[in-house]
Structure 1
Amino acid sequence: MTTKTPKKKVVKTVIEYKCSPLVSFVNRVSAIINSDDTTVMARNKPVDFTRHRCFSSSSAIMYFAFRHRTNTGFELNSFFSDVGKLKNRISRQALFANGKKLNPYVFRYLTQETSKEFYKSELVKKLNGYIVLAEDGTTIEAPDTPDAIRYYTLRGNGKLSIADQIEDAKRKIKLAMLYDVLNGNIIDFTYNNFNYSEIPMCMNHLYTLKNHVTDDPGKYLLLADRYYPSLKIFSFVEYMGMKYCIRGKKNFYKDLVKEMKSDDEVIEVTPYKLAFKELSKYPECEAYFKENESIKIRVVRHRYKYTDKDGKEAATELLYFTNLSKDEFSAEDIIDLYSRRWGIETDYKNLKSILEIERHISTNLNIAECCILGKIFMMSIFGIIGKEIDDILRNVYMISKAEGNADKYQYEVNTQQMIDVLRKQGILDGILNGRKRKIRNAITTVIELLNKIKVPIRPDRHYPRWNKYVVSPPKNRYRIDGREHAKVKRFKGIYRTVRK
């Protein structure tokens, strides 16, 4: 008769195995933030942050990256308390003066440097030997200021008035990033005006991956949605030796796809003369087609069945373009692989809803950019920690399942609660002041509390909460635990639930 291992013992064993590499990585992040190179990158002008003050460039970086309160005064109290220097709290005016000195690009630099260190660590998780990356873009609302209108509204042909530009573009920033879906790491990100194309932004991220993050691009696999298929992306990735799986639109190479006799075939694409003009903008793409007259692309066709909003059975045809071989990934594996791209959508949701990336504290454009880009750097660090905790929960579930002692559902960490616990346990003090014991204590505590801050993963579960019509507005002044009694607005004589 076999005896079952108690769950507490299983959890303790997994924690001891996982904690040390994670602590070592956060210590290296602390060293990068406090380095002389970062101090130089953080300056808008050579004279900025040169005098020894209680609010250094490192403090400014940490403040804008880990900002989480809705009010600047409360945030200053919280930040200086978290770093153990409440008596050195600065005023709001001093904060904004320092915010104007901080170069927003420093957060992209830190994100790239953090990625470089991460892929040297023991924490890297792979799928069939590949590090799976996803590329996607979104829009971020910029503050309502003349500078934001000038830089980030729709740049048309001069026929649009300022009022029309504001109405059409809503002062939105186009943000794109390259995201590691298995490890929660943001490798690189770029931002531009509202109507900037996402393909050149993707190319910039691939250059960062090639030139800065890794010497072996062949172990990386790129996922992207149907707005990314192009000869530029395909040839560039092939030249680098990477793999890709990109969903295509219905009209993408439709003549070649129509000739397919099965749902999993290789097509051969020869670029037209006009295409070479675009390809010549990138030396790697041009070099690829100098060596090859055409490019071979594997196409997997999948018929997806679903129930529409009227409750009727419907179906749509999905196309996946890839250079993965059938020996590595079958057609079913390709479909499952592409579904992992959803991780970047979840990360954008966390940035907008949990970290409130669109909450601005100043109309100054430099400070607004620091607020936005700082949150992305923060999400990268906490994303890696969160994925490690999810991995611990997964390992505990698998061990318990093998012994017949598993719960009904698998679990994942509640991101918002995890961030709150890490802050309360002094991780900001540990990172800013290089206190390794504080970092270890914060990470150990959050892992030990994982059974208290986890949430079940319920597949195919969705309860529509917004844009629902209700008979009458809620009677309670506040929502119960953030869920029931959503706010409502009157719409054509009827009440409808709204997010804000």
Structure 2
Amino acid sequence: MMMNDVVKSSELSELFFDFNTLIHSAKVNDLCRKKKCDFTRNRNMNFYSIIYYFIFRNRTTTNAELTHFYSSIDRFEKRISKQALNKAIRKLNPNVFTYLINQFASIYYSTSLPKKYRDHLLIAEDGTYMEIPYNLLNINEFQFALGSHVRDMFDVKKVQSKAGGLYDVTNGLFIDFSLKQAPYSETPLAFEHLYRTREVLENQKVIYLADRNYGSAEIISHLEDLRYSYVIRGKSNFYKKQVASMESDDEWIEVEIDEKWLKRFRFSPEAKELRKENPTLRIRVIKREYRYTDNKNKEHCEKLIYFTNLSSESFTTAEIMEIYSRRWDIEVSYKTMKTTQEVERHISSDGDVARNDIYAKVLFHNIAGVIRKEMNQELENRHTPDTKEYVTNITQLQAIIHDTNFLYCFMFGLKERIKEKIDNITKHLNKIKVPVRPNRHFQRWGRSVKQKSIKTYKKRQT
């Protein structure tokens, strides 16, 4: 079988063609507007041109970006000034990008492209902070958390937005993404994502992956109502009494949700109703330990717990750990966006423009992400036992997408040309593949994992 048949360039071309059709639609034109009079005339920088400008932005200065953009689309004679661009980008409503992120996923799942892990999509939830340009307007708009060093707005040194996403680690794309005020809690953000993606993920078998802070009874009950499976890292104080009574390191516990507990259910009426009908919450709990040394060569031992509703008959303890390890891909995605894509380098101090900068980079990450997963699949198909495993280097892939002028074919909906571009990109697979280091673990908080109490597993950047 030829490599390009495996990479499915025709299906990817169809996906990008359909997404381009959506970008050019009247629906998106309406969503772009902050005022009714915005984007009503076909100017040199019309509504869909601005969308593509944001998505494919990768130069260090505005003038260089304008030159690159108009050269890429073969319209250099129509290049607008920096002042005209600043005027145009302030009109763009950030809501259009949240819609496009959601719709890109919806179109993707309607194709034959999605890959599964044992017939499941692995969907990870996680939050981070995104830096916003510093000025008094943004301090007021995005707010800040009070603390010993921040007593009022004049103590704020850095403006941040609380960001969060629901990310398909099996297929390399954000299904939903949000930017909120800095003090916004991760819990309501997670519920917003679950509600907004309910239709997109309808009829899909989902395993929801999340780190600590997401193992509340309300979130787990809401996942049960959605008929999602889950693997969530637990906090030591969650269901403490029931966990302490466990006789083994892998068994089910039962938690009775009483009326007092139900009053703390604030975000999901469905979860509340479910627990009223069935107050008993059953959770499979897995306990593990790992030992590590810190930067001062001091040894530590930390106890870990994981919550899941996957049965032991279908998924062994080691498989649960393997599934959870794949959650790391959302962390890699945030790092890639912040370092390689420079998502926090903004082209304006305006808060809405900063939102558009970030949302558009998420969309570019999705475009590159689905291509990357196809290339990784090809590398997996080539892999033979007792040889090194490889994955695609996302940084190099994104650079190639920019260098091959993918923008032109995408923006003008040239389906055959898009396919040719994807074929040309996949020809570089051997040059941009990187080995997966066996038994890899990521150092965090100055720690280096020394040994684990179970069979080791890989954390891949896939």
Determine if the TM-score, normalized by the shorter chain, exceeds 0.5.
yes
Choose the corresponding residue for 1:377, options 338, 359, 363. 363
Give 1:16's aligned residue. Answer: 5
SS at match of 1:307: strand
Separation in 2 of the partners of 1:254 and 1:332? 23
Q: Which residue identity lines up with residue 171 of structure 2 in the other structure? A: N
| Deviation, structure 1 residue 250 | 1.4
Separation in 1 of the partners of 2:170 and 2:104? 16
CA 1:88–1:192: 2 relative to 1, 3 Å: same
Residue 72, structure 1, aligned to residue 62, structure 2 = yes
Give 1:262's aligned residue. Answer: 248
| Deviation, structure 1 residue 124 | 0.7
SS at match of 1:148: helix
SS at match of 2:431: coil
| Deviation, structure 1 residue 156 | 5.1
How big is each residue's C-alpha offset from its partner over 1:378-423, in whole Å with a ceiling of 9 and x where there is no partner? 11111111111111122122xxx26xxx8x5222222222222222
Separation in 2 of the partners of 1:462 and 1:421? 28
Separation in 2 of the partners of 1:71 and 1:281? 43
SS at match of 1:77: helix
CA contact (8 A) 2:191 2:268 kept: no
How big is each residue's C-alpha offset from its partner over 1:27-51, in whole Å with a ceiling of 9 and x where there is no partner? 1221121122111111111111100
Q: Which residue identity lines up with residue 431 of structure 2 in the other structure? A: K
CA 1:249–1:461: 2 relative to 1, 3 Å: closer
Give 1:30's aligned residue. Answer: 20
Residue 113, structure 1, aligned to residue 103, structure 2 = yes
Separation in 2 of the partners of 1:458 and 1:264? 29
Residue 83, structure 1, aligned to residue 70, structure 2 = no
Give 1:215's aligned residue. Answer: 202
Q: Which residue identity lines up with residue 301 of structure 1 in the other structure? A: K
Choose the corresponding residue for 1:238, options 224, 229, 244. 224
| TM-score, structure 1 normalization | 0.84
Residue 192, structure 1, aligned to residue 180, structure 2 = yes
Q: Which residue identity lines up with residue 126 of structure 2 in the other structure? A: D
SS at match of 2:197: helix
| Deviation, structure 1 residue 132 | 0.3
Choose the corresponding residue for 2:236, options 203, 225, 250. 250
Choose the corresponding residue for 2:42, options 42, 49, 52. 52
Residue 160, structure 1, aligned to residue 151, structure 2 = yes
Separation in 1 of the partners of 2:201 and 2:392? 29
SS at match of 1:451: helix
Q: Which residue identity lines up with residue 161 of structure 1 in the other structure? A: D
Select between 455-464 and 418-427 the one with higher mean Cα deviation.
455-464
Which of the pair has more CA radius of gyration?
1
Q: Once the two structures are aligned, what percentage of the paired residues are identical?
A: 38
Residue 314, structure 1, aligned to residue 304, structure 2 = no
CA contact (8 A) 1:176 1:189 kept: yes
Separation in 2 of the partners of 1:300 and 1:155? 35
Residue 291, structure 1, aligned to residue 282, structure 2 = no
SS at match of 2:119: coil
Compute the RMSD of aligned alpha carbons: 2.0
| TM-score, structure 2 normalization | 0.91
Give 1:366's aligned residue. Answer: 352
| Deviation, structure 1 residue 354 | 0.5
Task: Note the residue ranges of structure 2 that are not aligned, 5 or more in a row.
Answer: 447-462
CA contact (8 A) 1:426 1:438 kept: no
Separation in 1 of the partners of 2:442 and 2:189? 35
Select between 283-292 and 113-122 the one with higher mean Cα deviation.
283-292
Separation in 2 of the partners of 1:16 and 1:162? 56
Choose the corresponding residue for 1:433, options 404, 412, 420. 412
Task: Note the residue ranges of structure 1 that are not aligned, 5 or more in a row.
Answer: 1-9, 468-500
Residue 420, structure 1, aligned to residue 399, structure 2 = yes
Residue 101, structure 1, aligned to residue 101, structure 2 = no
| Deviation, structure 1 residue 460 | 5.2
Give 1:494's aligned residue. Answer: none
Choose the corresponding residue for 1:351, options 317, 337, 346. 337
Separation in 2 of the partners of 1:393 and 1:89? 41
Separation in 1 of the partners of 2:357 and 2:60? 12
Separation in 2 of the partners of 1:380 and 1:206? 19
How big is each residue's C-alpha offset from its partner over 1:448-469, in whole Å with a ceiling of 9 and x where there is no partner? 11112222222356999xx9xx
| Deviation, structure 1 residue 306 | 2.9
Give 1:301's aligned residue. Answer: 287
SS at match of 2:80: coil
Give 1:482's aligned residue. Answer: none
Residue 275, structure 1, aligned to residue 261, structure 2 = yes
